[in-house]
Structure 1
Amino acid sequence: MLLLLPPSEGKTPAPADAAPVDLAALTAADALTAQRSAVLAALAEASARPGASGVLGVGASLVDEVERNTRLHAEPAAPAAHVYSGVLYAAAGLADAVADVAAAARAAESVRIFSGLWGAVAPGDRIPAYRLSMGVDLPGVGKLAAAWRGPLGAALDARAAGDVVVDCRSATYVAAWKPRAGASEWVTVRVLRDTDGTRTVVSHNAKHTRGVLTGHLLRRAGAAPSSATELLDAAGELAGTVIGTEVGSGLSYRLLGASLHAAKTRTAPATLELVIG
């Protein structure tokens, strides 16, 4: 299993006394260090210019985070599982998984978090909090998804071959790397809500549900899935269990079931459909 996650938009800074990032210690350093260094330098330069917020596509309220981009090489770093702190990560309990020996080993082997700055990192990789989306056209580097495509291929193509790739990313991050056609089973995760027999796509609860699935795949007994069919079986283990609580109403919801839908073309992913209600 190769489990691909998007970064969270919100990021929690590391403790002030923590050591800074060591690029040579990050996952896939041989394939990604050169590009990480180039993007890091270009981001620092762009963030120091007037109008940096516009270039990075962030609001004026995030000016302090943009300013921090100018000194990321010296900023304190923490495991990525702690820095990324959005809905998906909370639901997955990824920070807790890093502290669990068995789950941490599976996460280090199987989970890759995509990033406009780092390309892809493992949950235990120590990074500083930063502000940069994969959708940015960064001066000196260009469109990040295109710039990362080659290095990420060198880092991930061989790892994905012959395995199941479980894709929880948004389209912005999918654009940076896709499994080679026919080399692996590529499965994207879609979440629907069932209301009296009518199914609709959800957003906030989709992130939460993907997080629950992530946590389950890391902690369940037995080997990690190595095919789409095994992934479906693993997801089905959650059927009937309460997996979340509605924001606002406080009502709980369950995973009603899981189904697998074949890819529409040779280069497209299959779809693992999770129904909540």
Structure 2
Amino acid sequence: MLVLLPPSETKSAGGSGAPLDLGGLSHPELTGTRRRLVDALSTLADDVPASLDALGLSERQVEEVQRNAELWDAPTAPALERYTGVLYDALDVQSLSAVERKQADARLAVASALFGIVRGTDAIPAYRLSGGSSLPGVGTLRSVWRPVLEPVLAAADDLVVDLRSGAYAALAKIPGAVSVRVLSEDATGKRKVVSHHNKAHKGKLARALAQAPDEPESVDDILAVAGEAGLQVEREADRALCVVVRA
């Protein structure tokens, strides 16, 4: 099973790993594109105003540009510890047992604007780049990633659970993936799409799938694991699920 998580704009600082080694990341067929983007992003950081504009940042976020300037030299950390925010708080990999953490590293991956896709143990530095960005001399990330990333994801033999947000789903389509959305239900039974807390509930589902002793191999398995974890997950279509949250 492959559970594909969205990244987060926020990243943990520092790390204890050696500087970025693209050759050591999973999916080496993406190395050329990764190198092109890391070089472009770190070079862009030499021009702070241009970086702020391209990345959609304010002057108060100039430290994010500094992170990009240090991409090749900064310390690294495992991907599942690098990303932070609501989803990753709910996932809470630090509290997993040793066995569960090994399962999480094997089953979970993160969609990345800079690296395409990273596995749990891939050592990466902190950076700032969003899926909807366009880099000078490179173009939109969608135009860069789709030709190279779609074949990689299409070749996945495992059950794929796609938890990505829109901007990252646009970087590569995944035929046959199981999609998941989050709905809130009020006392009358009326349902609506959850936006603000959507990531937290996806994080809880990802945690449950990582913790499952037996790796889920079907949509029915996902539903069973979610139910055992106390989550209300329903099938909306053959390959579409929804997490229902009481308002």
Question: How far apart, in 1, do the equivalents of 2:212 and 2:9 lie?
Answer: 28
| Mapped pair 1:173 → 2:171 | no
After superposing on structure 2, the runs of 4+ consecutive aligned residues of structure 1 that deviate more than 4 Å are none
Whether contact under 8 Å (1:11, 1:85) holds in the other structure is yes
Question: How far apart, in 1, do the equivalents of 2:152 and 2:101 lie?
Answer: 20
What residue in structure 2 maps to residue 57 of structure 1?
Answer: 56
One-letter code aligned to 2:43: E
Residues 115-140 of structure 1 show CA distances to partners (whole Å, capped at 9, x for unaligned) of: 11111101211111100011111122
One-letter code aligned to 1:92: L
The 5 Å alignment of 1:33-48 reads: 33-48=31-46
Question: How far apart, in 2, do the equivalents of 1:194 and 1:127 lie?
Answer: 39
Cα RMSD after superposing both structures: 1.7
What residue in structure 2 maps to residue 126 of structure 1?
Answer: 123
What residue in structure 1 maps to residue 14 of structure 2?
Answer: 14
Residues 127-172 of structure 1 show CA distances to partners (whole Å, capped at 9, x for unaligned) of: 111000111111222111221112213432222x3x3211111111
Residues 30-80 of structure 1 show CA distances to partners (whole Å, capped at 9, x for unaligned) of: x11111100001111222223311111122221111122122100111111
The 5 Å alignment of 1:99-118 reads: 100-118=97-115
| Mapped pair 1:210 → 2:208 | no
| Residue 18 (structure 1) shift | 4.1
| Mapped pair 1:139 → 2:114 | no
Question: How far apart, in 2, do the equivalents of 1:271 and 1:152 lie?
Answer: 22
Residues 179-228 of structure 1 show CA distances to partners (whole Å, capped at 9, x for unaligned) of: 23xxx4x211111122212222222321111101111111122x221122
Whether contact under 8 Å (2:105, 2:119) holds in the other structure is yes
Secondary structure of residue in 1 paired with 2:201: helix
| Mapped pair 1:225 → 2:216 | yes
Structure 2 unaligned residues grouped into runs of 5+: none
What residue in structure 2 maps to residue 193 of structure 1?
Answer: 184
Structure 1 unaligned residues grouped into runs of 5+: 240-254, 264-269
Whether contact under 8 Å (2:106, 2:120) holds in the other structure is no
Question: How far apart, in 1, do the equivalents of 2:137 and 2:44 lie?
Answer: 9
One-letter code aligned to 1:69: N
| Mapped pair 1:271 → 2:246 | no
Question: How far apart, in 2, do the equivalents of 1:179 and 1:227 lie?
Answer: 16
TM-score by length of 2: 0.92
The equivalent position to 1:260 in structure 2, one of 228, 235, 239, is 235
